[in-house]
Amino acid sequence: METLAGRPSSFASKLIGTALTLTIATTFVSAADGDFKVVAHYRVSGSGKIQGIGIDSTARRIYVAQGARVDLLNADTGAAAGQIATGAGASDLILVPDIKRGFVANSGSNNIAVFDTDSCKVLRTVNSTGKAPSALTYDDGARLVFVANRDSGNITAFDPETGRIAGTVELGGKVGQLAATGYGRLFVVAPNTNLVHVVDTETFKSLGDFPTGTGEDCTGLALDPVGRRVFVGCANGRIPILDGDIGLAFEDLAGGGSGPSTAMFTFLPTGKGGWKGAAFITNADGTLTAVKMNAFVNYTIGAKSKLSSGIGPLALDTKTHHLLIAANGTRTPEVLVVSQPTSSETKSEEE
Protein backbone atom coordinates (compact mmCIF):
# COMPACT_ATOMS: atom_id res chain seq x y z
CA MET A 1 0.00 0.00 0.00
CA GLU A 2 1.07 3.60 -0.45
CA THR A 3 1.86 5.70 2.56
CA LEU A 4 1.09 9.23 3.59
CA ALA A 5 4.43 10.30 2.19
CA GLY A 6 3.02 9.80 -1.29
CA ARG A 7 -0.64 9.14 -1.84
CA PRO A 8 -2.83 8.94 1.26
CA SER A 9 -2.89 5.61 3.05
CA SER A 10 -5.77 3.24 2.38
CA PHE A 11 -7.46 4.69 5.45
CA ALA A 12 -7.38 8.21 4.03
CA SER A 13 -8.40 6.97 0.60
CA LYS A 14 -11.58 5.63 2.21
CA LEU A 15 -12.38 9.12 3.51
CA ILE A 16 -11.23 9.18 7.09
CA GLY A 17 -8.62 9.61 8.53
CA THR A 18 -0.42 -19.19 43.12
CA ALA A 19 0.61 -18.13 45.76
CA LEU A 20 2.53 -14.90 45.95
CA THR A 21 5.30 -13.83 48.28
CA LEU A 22 6.48 -10.28 48.77
CA THR A 23 10.07 -9.12 48.71
CA ILE A 24 10.36 -5.46 49.65
CA ALA A 25 13.24 -3.62 48.02
CA THR A 26 13.91 -0.10 46.84
CA THR A 27 16.02 0.01 43.70
CA PHE A 28 17.13 3.46 42.63
CA VAL A 29 17.71 3.54 38.90
CA SER A 30 20.82 5.52 38.07
CA ALA A 31 20.37 9.00 36.64
CA ALA A 32 22.00 7.85 33.42
CA ASP A 33 19.32 5.22 32.99
CA GLY A 34 16.31 7.33 33.96
CA ASP A 35 14.26 8.35 36.96
CA PHE A 36 11.99 5.38 37.62
CA LYS A 37 12.36 3.55 40.93
CA VAL A 38 11.45 -0.07 41.60
CA VAL A 39 9.97 0.14 45.10
CA ALA A 40 8.80 -3.46 45.51
CA HIS A 41 8.96 -6.91 43.93
CA TYR A 42 5.84 -9.06 44.19
CA ARG A 43 7.11 -12.54 43.43
CA VAL A 44 4.78 -15.07 41.85
CA SER A 45 5.29 -18.75 42.57
CA GLY A 46 5.25 -21.14 39.64
CA SER A 47 6.86 -20.84 36.25
CA GLY A 48 3.99 -19.51 34.15
CA LYS A 49 4.71 -16.39 32.14
CA ILE A 50 2.68 -13.37 33.23
CA GLN A 51 0.65 -12.37 30.17
CA GLY A 52 -1.77 -9.85 31.63
CA ILE A 53 -2.06 -7.57 34.63
CA GLY A 54 -4.78 -5.31 36.00
CA ILE A 55 -5.62 -3.50 39.21
CA ASP A 56 -8.74 -2.41 41.04
CA SER A 57 -7.28 0.65 42.74
CA THR A 58 -10.34 1.10 44.97
CA ALA A 59 -10.55 -2.50 46.19
CA ARG A 60 -6.71 -2.63 46.35
CA ARG A 61 -6.54 -5.87 44.40
CA ILE A 62 -4.10 -6.83 41.64
CA TYR A 63 -5.03 -9.42 39.01
CA VAL A 64 -2.19 -11.39 37.39
CA ALA A 65 -2.98 -13.68 34.44
CA GLN A 66 -0.65 -16.61 33.86
CA GLY A 67 -1.06 -20.17 32.67
CA ALA A 68 -4.63 -21.29 33.33
CA ARG A 69 -5.46 -18.88 36.12
CA VAL A 70 -5.57 -15.37 37.49
CA ASP A 71 -3.69 -14.79 40.74
CA LEU A 72 -5.06 -12.17 43.11
CA LEU A 73 -2.90 -10.18 45.49
CA ASN A 74 -3.17 -7.27 47.82
CA ALA A 75 -2.03 -4.11 46.05
CA ASP A 76 -0.45 -2.65 49.18
CA THR A 77 1.35 -5.68 50.59
CA GLY A 78 1.60 -8.18 47.77
CA ALA A 79 -0.01 -10.86 49.91
CA ALA A 80 -1.83 -13.65 48.09
CA ALA A 81 -5.59 -13.05 47.98
CA GLY A 82 -6.85 -16.01 45.97
CA GLN A 83 -6.97 -17.46 42.47
CA ILE A 84 -9.46 -17.68 39.62
CA ALA A 85 -9.29 -20.67 37.27
CA THR A 86 -9.89 -19.13 33.85
CA GLY A 87 -8.79 -21.59 31.14
CA ALA A 88 -5.74 -22.70 29.19
CA GLY A 89 -3.17 -20.28 27.88
CA ALA A 90 -4.08 -16.95 29.48
CA SER A 91 -2.74 -14.30 27.10
CA ASP A 92 -4.25 -10.99 28.23
CA LEU A 93 -6.45 -9.51 30.94
CA ILE A 94 -8.57 -6.38 31.20
CA LEU A 95 -10.86 -5.00 33.91
CA VAL A 96 -13.99 -2.92 33.32
CA PRO A 97 -14.81 -1.33 36.70
CA ASP A 98 -18.07 0.28 35.54
CA ILE A 99 -19.69 -3.12 35.04
CA LYS A 100 -17.60 -4.98 37.65
CA ARG A 101 -16.26 -7.45 35.12
CA GLY A 102 -12.89 -8.86 34.23
CA PHE A 103 -11.93 -10.63 31.01
CA VAL A 104 -9.14 -13.10 30.25
CA ALA A 105 -8.18 -14.08 26.70
CA ASN A 106 -7.25 -17.77 26.61
CA SER A 107 -5.18 -18.52 23.52
CA GLY A 108 -4.88 -22.18 24.47
CA SER A 109 -8.63 -22.81 24.52
CA ASN A 110 -9.77 -20.15 22.01
CA ASN A 111 -12.13 -18.47 24.43
CA ILE A 112 -12.50 -15.54 26.80
CA ALA A 113 -13.30 -16.04 30.48
CA VAL A 114 -15.64 -13.46 32.01
CA PHE A 115 -15.47 -13.04 35.79
CA ASP A 116 -17.15 -10.90 38.43
CA THR A 117 -14.64 -8.58 40.11
CA ASP A 118 -16.59 -8.59 43.40
CA SER A 119 -17.01 -12.34 43.86
CA CYS A 120 -13.96 -13.25 41.72
CA LYS A 121 -16.01 -16.06 40.18
CA VAL A 122 -16.11 -16.95 36.49
CA LEU A 123 -19.56 -16.17 35.10
CA ARG A 124 -19.17 -17.59 31.59
CA THR A 125 -16.75 -18.29 28.79
CA VAL A 126 -17.19 -16.79 25.33
CA ASN A 127 -15.90 -18.78 22.36
CA SER A 128 -13.85 -16.61 20.05
CA THR A 129 -14.51 -16.48 16.31
CA GLY A 130 -10.78 -16.83 15.62
CA LYS A 131 -7.66 -18.68 16.70
CA ALA A 132 -5.48 -17.79 19.68
CA PRO A 133 -7.25 -14.79 21.25
CA SER A 134 -4.35 -12.83 22.67
CA ALA A 135 -5.29 -9.17 23.25
CA LEU A 136 -8.35 -7.40 24.64
CA THR A 137 -9.84 -3.93 24.90
CA TYR A 138 -13.18 -2.48 25.98
CA ASP A 139 -15.01 0.20 24.01
CA ASP A 140 -17.20 2.21 26.38
CA GLY A 141 -18.97 3.88 23.46
CA ALA A 142 -20.01 0.69 21.69
CA ARG A 143 -20.15 -1.15 25.06
CA LEU A 144 -18.36 -4.10 23.51
CA VAL A 145 -15.23 -6.10 24.24
CA PHE A 146 -12.90 -6.48 21.25
CA VAL A 147 -10.56 -9.46 20.99
CA ALA A 148 -7.51 -9.75 18.73
CA ASN A 149 -7.14 -13.34 17.50
CA ARG A 150 -3.42 -13.58 16.84
CA ASP A 151 -3.18 -16.64 14.59
CA SER A 152 -6.28 -16.08 12.43
CA GLY A 153 -5.78 -12.35 11.89
CA ASN A 154 -9.28 -11.31 12.87
CA ILE A 155 -11.09 -9.38 15.59
CA THR A 156 -14.05 -10.66 17.62
CA ALA A 157 -16.54 -8.26 19.25
CA PHE A 158 -18.93 -9.40 21.98
CA ASP A 159 -21.37 -8.04 24.54
CA PRO A 160 -19.67 -8.08 27.97
CA GLU A 161 -22.95 -8.64 29.83
CA THR A 162 -24.38 -11.52 27.79
CA GLY A 163 -21.41 -12.92 25.88
CA ARG A 164 -23.31 -12.59 22.60
CA ILE A 165 -21.04 -12.22 19.57
CA ALA A 166 -21.68 -8.84 17.93
CA GLY A 167 -19.38 -9.15 14.94
CA THR A 168 -16.08 -10.27 13.42
CA VAL A 169 -13.57 -8.20 11.45
CA GLU A 170 -11.18 -9.97 9.06
CA LEU A 171 -7.82 -8.22 8.83
CA GLY A 172 -5.34 -10.92 7.81
CA GLY A 173 -1.80 -11.54 8.99
CA LYS A 174 -0.98 -11.30 12.67
CA VAL A 175 -2.81 -8.93 15.01
CA GLY A 176 -1.53 -7.56 18.31
CA GLN A 177 -2.37 -4.97 20.94
CA LEU A 178 -5.48 -2.91 20.28
CA ALA A 179 -7.29 0.15 21.64
CA ALA A 180 -10.79 1.59 21.17
CA THR A 181 -11.63 5.27 21.04
CA GLY A 182 -15.19 5.19 22.38
CA TYR A 183 -16.32 7.18 19.33
CA GLY A 184 -16.40 4.57 16.59
CA ARG A 185 -12.80 3.61 15.89
CA LEU A 186 -10.59 0.69 16.87
CA PHE A 187 -6.82 0.65 16.30
CA VAL A 188 -5.00 -2.68 15.99
CA VAL A 189 -1.24 -2.99 15.66
CA ALA A 190 -0.01 -5.48 13.04
CA PRO A 191 3.17 -7.26 14.26
CA ASN A 192 5.97 -7.92 11.76
CA THR A 193 4.82 -4.90 9.74
CA ASN A 194 4.90 -1.13 9.99
CA LEU A 195 1.12 -0.78 10.00
CA VAL A 196 -1.77 -0.05 12.36
CA HIS A 197 -5.18 -1.32 11.22
CA VAL A 198 -8.22 0.93 11.66
CA VAL A 199 -11.68 -0.59 12.22
CA ASP A 200 -15.18 0.90 12.37
CA THR A 201 -16.69 -0.37 15.63
CA GLU A 202 -20.27 0.06 14.42
CA THR A 203 -20.07 -1.68 11.05
CA PHE A 204 -17.18 -4.05 11.95
CA LYS A 205 -15.46 -3.10 8.71
CA SER A 206 -11.80 -2.41 8.08
CA LEU A 207 -11.17 1.23 7.18
CA GLY A 208 -7.60 0.67 6.05
CA ASP A 209 -4.20 1.13 7.63
CA PHE A 210 -1.96 3.79 9.13
CA PRO A 211 1.77 3.45 8.30
CA THR A 212 4.11 3.82 11.28
CA GLY A 213 6.93 5.50 9.40
CA THR A 214 10.33 4.36 10.66
CA GLY A 215 8.80 2.04 13.25
CA GLU A 216 9.44 -1.63 12.45
CA ASP A 217 7.94 -4.83 13.86
CA CYS A 218 5.52 -2.93 16.08
CA THR A 219 3.60 -4.79 18.80
CA GLY A 220 2.74 -2.17 21.43
CA LEU A 221 -0.13 0.29 21.03
CA ALA A 222 -1.71 2.87 23.34
CA LEU A 223 -4.34 5.55 22.79
CA ASP A 224 -5.04 9.01 24.14
CA PRO A 225 -8.80 9.11 23.42
CA VAL A 226 -9.11 12.82 24.19
CA GLY A 227 -6.21 14.09 22.10
CA ARG A 228 -6.86 11.31 19.55
CA ARG A 229 -3.22 10.23 19.53
CA VAL A 230 -2.00 6.69 18.87
CA PHE A 231 1.34 5.67 20.40
CA VAL A 232 3.13 2.71 18.82
CA GLY A 233 5.94 0.70 20.41
CA CYS A 234 8.31 -0.94 17.93
CA ALA A 235 11.10 -3.51 18.17
CA ASN A 236 13.64 -1.15 16.56
CA GLY A 237 13.31 1.41 19.36
CA ARG A 238 11.18 3.91 17.45
CA ILE A 239 7.97 5.31 18.96
CA PRO A 240 5.75 6.83 16.26
CA ILE A 241 2.88 9.03 17.47
CA LEU A 242 0.00 9.08 15.01
CA ASP A 243 -2.92 11.44 14.58
CA GLY A 244 -5.92 9.20 15.19
CA ASP A 245 -8.06 10.97 12.59
CA ILE A 246 -5.80 11.18 9.54
CA GLY A 247 -2.99 8.76 10.37
CA LEU A 248 -0.16 11.28 10.10
CA ALA A 249 2.93 10.34 12.13
CA PHE A 250 3.55 13.85 13.46
CA GLU A 251 6.14 12.67 16.00
CA ASP A 252 8.66 9.86 15.53
CA LEU A 253 10.69 9.50 18.69
CA ALA A 254 13.88 7.52 19.18
CA GLY A 255 14.46 6.14 22.63
CA GLY A 256 12.44 2.98 23.02
CA GLY A 257 13.94 -0.41 23.76
CA SER A 258 14.32 -3.46 21.54
CA GLY A 259 12.16 -6.53 21.16
CA PRO A 260 8.39 -7.01 21.54
CA SER A 261 6.66 -4.15 23.33
CA THR A 262 3.52 -3.38 25.34
CA ALA A 263 2.08 0.11 25.82
CA MET A 264 -0.46 2.05 27.87
CA PHE A 265 -1.50 5.72 28.13
CA THR A 266 -2.71 7.62 31.17
CA PHE A 267 -3.41 11.21 32.14
CA LEU A 268 -1.27 12.48 35.01
CA PRO A 269 -2.84 15.59 36.55
CA THR A 270 0.21 16.57 38.60
CA GLY A 271 -0.22 20.33 38.38
CA LYS A 272 1.87 23.14 36.94
CA GLY A 273 5.27 21.97 35.80
CA GLY A 274 4.24 18.34 36.11
CA TRP A 275 3.35 15.69 33.59
CA LYS A 276 0.00 16.18 31.89
CA GLY A 277 -0.03 12.63 30.59
CA ALA A 278 2.24 9.87 29.39
CA ALA A 279 2.42 6.76 27.29
CA PHE A 280 4.43 4.06 29.05
CA ILE A 281 6.10 1.46 26.84
CA THR A 282 7.91 -1.71 27.91
CA ASN A 283 10.24 -3.70 25.67
CA ALA A 284 11.44 -7.26 26.15
CA ASP A 285 15.05 -6.10 26.61
CA GLY A 286 13.99 -4.55 29.94
CA THR A 287 13.53 -0.96 28.79
CA LEU A 288 10.72 1.13 30.27
CA THR A 289 10.13 4.36 28.36
CA ALA A 290 7.79 7.21 29.25
CA VAL A 291 6.63 9.48 26.45
CA LYS A 292 5.77 12.75 28.18
CA MET A 293 2.81 14.78 26.95
CA ASN A 294 3.78 18.45 27.03
CA ALA A 295 0.74 19.44 24.94
CA PHE A 296 -1.63 17.66 22.60
CA VAL A 297 0.82 18.14 19.72
CA ASN A 298 4.10 18.07 21.63
CA TYR A 299 5.69 14.95 23.10
CA THR A 300 9.19 14.09 24.31
CA ILE A 301 10.95 11.16 25.95
CA GLY A 302 10.38 12.08 29.59
CA ALA A 303 12.18 9.17 31.22
CA LYS A 304 13.81 5.89 30.32
CA SER A 305 15.07 3.11 32.55
CA LYS A 306 16.54 -0.36 32.16
CA LEU A 307 14.63 -2.67 34.47
CA SER A 308 14.43 -6.47 34.51
CA SER A 309 14.67 -8.34 31.22
CA GLY A 310 11.46 -9.81 29.91
CA ILE A 311 9.18 -7.03 31.15
CA GLY A 312 5.81 -6.84 29.45
CA PRO A 313 2.21 -6.10 30.44
CA LEU A 314 1.69 -3.11 32.72
CA ALA A 315 -1.05 -1.33 34.65
CA LEU A 316 -1.39 1.89 36.65
CA ASP A 317 -2.45 2.11 40.29
CA THR A 318 -4.48 5.33 40.23
CA LYS A 319 -4.25 5.67 44.02
CA THR A 320 -0.46 5.55 44.37
CA HIS A 321 0.41 6.41 40.72
CA HIS A 322 2.73 3.40 40.75
CA LEU A 323 3.17 1.32 37.64
CA LEU A 324 2.74 -2.45 37.97
CA ILE A 325 4.91 -4.24 35.42
CA ALA A 326 5.11 -7.96 34.69
CA ALA A 327 8.70 -9.22 34.67
CA ASN A 328 9.28 -12.66 33.17
CA GLY A 329 13.05 -12.66 32.78
CA THR A 330 13.81 -14.11 36.21
CA ARG A 331 13.49 -17.73 37.35
CA THR A 332 10.31 -16.80 39.20
CA PRO A 333 7.99 -14.33 37.44
CA GLU A 334 7.27 -11.20 39.41
CA VAL A 335 5.37 -7.94 39.38
CA LEU A 336 7.55 -4.85 39.67
CA VAL A 337 6.04 -1.92 41.55
CA VAL A 338 7.58 1.16 39.95
CA SER A 339 7.29 4.79 41.02
CA GLN A 340 7.04 7.38 38.28
CA PRO A 341 9.31 10.37 37.82
CA THR A 342 8.05 13.54 39.48
CA SER A 343 8.27 16.99 37.91
CA SER A 344 11.31 17.79 40.06
CA GLU A 345 13.07 14.62 38.86
CA THR A 346 12.60 15.26 35.16
CA LYS A 347 14.47 17.67 32.97
CA SER A 348 12.94 21.08 32.54
CA GLU A 349 11.92 22.33 29.13
CA GLU A 350 14.65 25.00 29.25
CA GLU A 351 17.52 22.56 29.86
Give the model confidence (pLDDT) of 83-94 as tens digits.
999 999 999 999
Degrees to nearest 5, angle at CA 48 with 128 and 99: 45
pLDDT digits (tens, 9 = 90+) for 217-257: 999 999 999 899 999 999 999 999 999 999 999 999 998 99
pLDDT band (50, 70, 90) for residue 28: very low
**Higher-confidence position of 45 and 152:** 152
Amino acid 192: pLDDT: 85
**pLDDT band of 273, cuts 50, 70, 90:** low
Residue 195 has pLDDT above 50, yes or no: yes
pLDDT at 64 (0 to 100): 97
Distance CA 342, CA 121 (A): 38
Those residues with Cβ within 8 angstroms of residue 306's Cβ, 6 or more apart along the chain or in another chain: 29, 33, 34, 285, 286, 287, 288
Q: How far apart are CA 132 and CA 108, in angstroms?
A: 7
The residue extents of the domains of the chain are: 10-259+282-339
Backbone angles phi, psi at 12, to 5 degrees: -65, -35
The C-alpha atoms of residue 104 and residue 135 are separated, in whole angstroms, by 9
Q: How far is Cα 175 from Cα 204, in angstroms, rounded to an integer?
A: 15
Classified as helix, coil or strand, 17 is: coil
User: Helix (H, G, I), strand (E, B), or coil: what is residue 98?
Assistant: helix
202 pLDDT higher than 70: yes
pLDDT of residue 245: 96
Q: Provide the CA 344 distance to its chain's centre, in angstroms.
A: 27
**Is the pLDDT assigned to residue 33 strictly greater than 50?**
no
pLDDT for position 43 = 86
Looking at per-residue pLDDT, the higher value among 193 and 331 belongs to 193
Per-residue pLDDT tens for 44-80?
A: 876 789 999 999 999 999 999 999 999 999 999 999 9
Give residues with Cβ within 8 angstroms of 30, minimum separation 6.
none
The per-residue DSSP string of 237-258 comes to SEEEEEETTT--EEEEEE---S
Quick one: pLDDT at residue 17? 30
Architecture per CATH, domain 10-259+282-339, reads as 7 Propeller (2.130)
Does this model's pTM top 0.85? My answer is yes
* Mean pLDDT, residues 304-318: 92
